[in-house]
Structure 1
Amino acid sequence: MLDAAIKTQMQTYMQMISQPIEIVASVDDGEKSHELIELLKEVAAMSDKISYTERRDDNERKPSFSINRPGEHIGIRFAAIPLGHEFTSLVLALLQTGGHPIKLDADVIEQIKNLEGDYTFETYMSLSCQNCPEVVQSLNVMSLINPRIRHTTIDGALFQSEVESREIMAVPTIYLNGETFGQGRMGVADFLAKLDANAGARDAAKLNARDAFDVLIVGGGPAGAASAIYAARKGVRTGIAAERFGGQVLDTLAIENFISVKETEGPRLAAALEEHVKEYGVDIMNTQRAVELIPGADYVRVRLENGALLKSRSVILSTGARWRNVNVPGEQEYRNHGVAYCPHCDGPLFKGKRVSVIGGGNSGVEAAIDLAGITEHVTLLEFGDELRADAVLQRKLYSLPNVTVHVQAQTTEITGDGTKVNGLTYTDRKSGESHHVELEAVFVQIGLVPNTEWLKGTVALSKFGEIEVDARGQTSVPGVFAAGDCTTVPYKQIVIAMGEGSKAALSAFDHLIRTSAPADAQTQALAA
């Protein structure tokens, strides 16, 4: 099942296991059980510290398997054949159960240990979802730390009946003790914030105690990461407050136009960015949402959602953008119930069904191509007179037999039965006729909207909500700079965001030099 290259890599990892591990498989005579058995036997053969047994008469999902230590009952179970994006989750579960150090701060580990209550988590995921592994890996590691936490990872495509009975139409979907807990990408900090009632107040107190920064970056995407590296290299005190480090890159699957890197994936690039930023000792304040910018003569202040107040001599805004809504009746009502924004994540949940894609740019056409490979039929709707995607993508799209394309099509409503999507209505802009298409899912791919609502009335914004910047990245507020997809700089691309972030950091450093107080300058001269 595993190719030679992966086996070689796995054998290297398995040498890091220092404690015995038990893999217990719950299987039957089905095809998928045979696939799981083959995978687990290959894995077990790579280390003499791994034992493998099978059970056929238990009440667990089949196929599934648990990972334990002898004499312990660690709450990690995969109801899945964890390949694709979840292969890393399997490797990490094995390594960490086998004694490899957990890469969490000591205070975070202590916070997990001190959680009171019993927690049984279930995560429904798809193997093509790039957001799911963080959820899976976070809950797995929490299960290792606290024996009262248990976690089962469930492949929605493998357990379709559960997905349908629970009406799950988006991944990752997380259940806690049988009740819906959350959807979308979540990390350890996010789980602790929801499980530990006092976490927010403690976090705010720690942040309030921070000394003033020289450069404070709001946003942790490519622009923010580049800003942090360039600022920190100047030797100034640098911090990043990010809602999620990596930003929208985390939601991007294939990246094939990042110069010098032929192909990579968003989560992999985001991890590399974070690792690079950490090399310079930048103070990374993750899972922090900014809600207010307060200009000042000496310091600019940024208020966070938890009430904390950070201050800095200069600020770089790199809050990025998010998927744009189509803003028609039914979109919000059926969000995550047939209305989706990530075809890679949620597409497998609609295997063999009829779906639609709204948007004829590169994202929309790529989504339609991907969905055509797993769904019965794809209807693509483009508002304009023609598709806007690259020619190579259009040729591929029109070669697919199960795709219908409508241009000059204005979506007017997403319909449903009160529980989930059952269709879409659009108007032919040329004839004025209205048409209804019966389907099970609508994937919205119509561009981005900047994350700048919190800045209205503080910095100058364009009519599209983008932060207005000059050639140096300076905003309308002295000492406040901006970079990336949240600004008026054209062409929202990763490589451009990085360049703009680097430029903003250099401009911020120049601002610091020019605005240093005489006392500061005298102190520095005496120190020299």
Structure 2
Amino acid sequence: MLDQAMKQQLQSYLSNLKSDVQLRLSLDDSETGSKLAALAADIASLSQRISVVRDDSHSERKPLMLVENLEKGTAIGFAGLPMGHEFTSLVLALLHSGGHPIKLEPETIEQIAALDAELQVEIFISLSCQNCPEVVQAFNMMAAINPLVSVTMIDGAAFQDEVKSRDILAVPSVFVNGELFGQGRMSLAEILGKVDSGAAEKQAVKLNQQAPFEVLVVGGGPAGSSAAIYAARKGVRTGVVADRFGGQVQYTMAIENFISVKATTGPKLVASLEEHVKDYGVEIITEQRAANIVGAEESGDGYIHVELESGAVLRARSVITSTGARWREMKVPGEQEYRNKGVAYCPHCDGPLFKGKRTAVIGGGNSGIEAAIDLAGIVEHVTVLEFADTLRADQVLIDKANATANIEIITLAQTTRVLGDGTRVTGLEYKDRSSGELHQLALAGIFVQIGLVPNSEWLKQSKVALSERGEIEVDAHGATSLAGVFAAGDVTTVPYKQIIIAMGEGAKASLGAFDYLIRTPVPAEQTEAA
């Protein structure tokens, strides 16, 4: 099942096991079941601490492999074949179940260990989903720490009947104790915030006690990461506050224009960015959303105040906002009703759930045509609907799409309505902009790829000037209209929303902020404390 190179690498990892691990198999006669048995045998051959037992009566869901620590009473399940993006999840489950230290803060481990309610977690994934492993690994760590938490990763492609019966049309989809817990990417902190009722209040109290930052970056994408690194290199106290680290780039699979790196993926780039930021001792605060910003002249203590939705307030001498942008919605009837029920925004994540079905992509730019090409290898047919009379994608992508038999491109098409049966998408309605005629397409899935909207709503009550499109207006130094507040990346008026441009703008805004700091007196409170 595993090639020799992979076996050698895995054997090196498994040498870190400190306690015995049992692989309990419940198998059927499927090809996936045979492959899972072969995988378990390969793993067991690499460490004397790993054993395999077969117990087909253990579970009704087959094929299934449980990674168990019998002494601690923990179990982590994999229904289907955990390869692709989920192979790392399996390796970590083996290590953590075998006593290898879990890389979490001690207080986080204590919080998980203190959970006193039984949590039966089912995570439906697709093996091509780049966001699913983060969710799987977060719950798996919880299960390895606390035996009251049991987790099963379920490959949706291998359990189509269950996917259909539960109306799962987006991954990851997480069920806890039989009830839908959440869909899409979730961090461990976000999960704990939902299962531990007092976590949010405790975090807010802790944040309110924070000492002021010299530079506080709001947003953790490429622009924010660059800004934080440049600030920290100046030797000033730097923090990053974000809903989640990584931003929109987390959902980008193919990155081939990042200078000096021939090819990478969004998740890999985000992991490298986070590691780089942490190397400089930057304090990263996640699972917090900014709600407002108050200038130093208005705050009463000489600091800029960043108010968070949790009720906490962070103080800083300067602020760099790099909150990025999000996928633009169609704003048509039915879109919200059928969101995650056939209306999707990530073809890489959710595409496998529409295997053999008819789908549509809304938007004829690079992201839209790339999505159509990716989907074409999975689904029965893809219809691309473009509002304009010509596609906006690069010609090389257009040529590839035109050469793909199951891709149809319709221009001058305005989507007017998402159709459904109350449970899931059944099609869409569009208007031919040249004739005015309405047409309907029978579809199972609709992938929306029509650009970005700046994440600037939280600034509308502030004195930070926004453009008509909601973008933050900045000058040549990245400064905004509010003293001490700078901005960078896709949330600003700077043209060309590209990763490398966002990084450059983040560095520039950080240098602008540092120049502001050295020319601005330190608030009296800090001077007296010193």
TM range (shorter): over 0.9
Deviations 1:358-389 (A, max 9, x none): 00001000100111101011111001111111
CA distance in 2, matches of 1:256, 1:50: 40
CA distance in 2, matches of 1:72, 1:520: 51
Deviation at 1:238, TM superposition (A): 0.5
* Correspondence for 1:318 among 322, 337, 353: 322
Deviation at 1:391, TM superposition (A): 1.1
Residue in 1 that maps onto 2:468: 463
Q: What residue ranges of structure 1 are gaps of 5+ in the alignment?
A: none
CA distance in 1, matches of 2:72, 2:203: 33
Aligned partner of residue 206 in structure 1, secondary structure = helix
Deviations 1:391-430 (A, max 9, x none): 1111111111111110111111110011110001111111
Residue in 1 that maps onto 2:346: 342
* Correspondence for 1:516 among 506, 513, 521: 521
The amino acid across from 2:485 in the alignment is: V
Deviation at 1:6, TM superposition (A): 2.5
* Correspondence for 1:403 among 388, 407, 415: 407
Residue in 1 that maps onto 2:193: 193
Residue in 1 that maps onto 2:37: 37
The answer to whether the Cα contact below 8 Å between 2:33 and 2:80 also exists between their aligned partners in 1 is no
Residue in 2 that maps onto 1:418: 422
The answer to whether the Cα contact below 8 Å between 2:135 and 2:186 also exists between their aligned partners in 1 is yes
For residues 205 and 522 of structure 1, do their structure 2 counterparts lie closer, same or farther at Cα, with a shift above 3 Å needed?
closer
CA distance in 2, matches of 1:406, 1:45: 54
Aligned partner of residue 423 in structure 1, secondary structure = strand
Residue in 2 that maps onto 1:279: 279
Aligned partner of residue 77 in structure 1, secondary structure = strand
Aligned partner of residue 74 in structure 2, secondary structure = coil
Aligned partner of residue 123 in structure 2, secondary structure = strand
The answer to whether the Cα contact below 8 Å between 2:65 and 2:78 also exists between their aligned partners in 1 is yes
Q: CA RMSD in A?
A: 1.6
CA distance in 1, matches of 2:327, 2:523: 46
CA distance in 2, matches of 1:54, 1:254: 40
Further displaced range: 125-134 or 69-78? 69-78
Further displaced range: 430-439 or 159-168? 430-439
Further displaced range: 336-345 or 52-61? 52-61
Deviations 1:156-204 (A, max 9, x none): 1110000000001101111011111111111211111111111111101
CA distance in 1, matches of 2:114, 2:71: 22
- TM-score normalised to the size of structure 1? 0.97
* Correspondence for 2:493 among 479, 488, 494: 488
The amino acid across from 1:405 in the alignment is: I
CA distance in 1, matches of 2:220, 2:527: 35
CA distance in 1, matches of 2:303, 2:525: 14
* 1:95-494 correspondence runs (5 A): 95-297=95-297, 298-458=302-462, 459-494=464-499
Percentage of pairs with the same residue:
60
CA distance in 2, matches of 1:417, 1:346: 20
CA distance in 2, matches of 1:464, 1:197: 38
CA distance in 1, matches of 2:521, 2:171: 50
Deviations 1:99-144 (A, max 9, x none): 1110111111111111121110111111111111111000000011
Deviations 1:269-313 (A, max 9, x none): 111111111111111111111111111232110011110000100
CA distance in 2, matches of 1:155, 1:501: 39
For residues 418 and 520 of structure 1, do their structure 2 counterparts lie closer, same or farther at Cα, with a shift above 3 Å needed?
closer
Q: What residue ranges of structure 2 are gaps of 5+ in the alignment?
A: none
CA distance in 2, matches of 1:112, 1:138: 11
Residue in 2 that maps onto 1:85: 85
Structure 1 runs of 4+ with >3 Å offset: 517-524
The amino acid across from 1:192 in the alignment is: L
For residues 110 and 521 of structure 1, do their structure 2 counterparts lie closer, same or farther at Cα, with a shift above 3 Å needed?
closer
Deviation at 1:516, TM superposition (A): 2.4
Further displaced range: 480-489 or 112-121? 112-121
Deviation at 1:98, TM superposition (A): 1.3
The amino acid across from 1:391 in the alignment is: Q
Residue in 1 that maps onto 2:28: 28
CA distance in 1, matches of 2:145, 2:213: 34
CA distance in 2, matches of 1:382, 1:157: 30
The amino acid across from 2:245 in the alignment is: F
For residues 485 and 518 of structure 1, do their structure 2 counterparts lie closer, same or farther at Cα, with a shift above 3 Å needed?
closer
Aligned partner of residue 150 in structure 2, secondary structure = strand
CA distance in 1, matches of 2:526, 2:435: 71
Further displaced range: 425-434 or 484-493? 425-434
Aligned partner of residue 213 in structure 2, secondary structure = coil
- TM-score normalised to the size of structure 2? 0.97
For residues 398 and 518 of structure 1, do their structure 2 counterparts lie closer, same or farther at Cα, with a shift above 3 Å needed?
closer
Further displaced range: 423-432 or 38-47? 38-47
The amino acid across from 2:230 in the alignment is: Y
Q: How many residues align?
A: 525
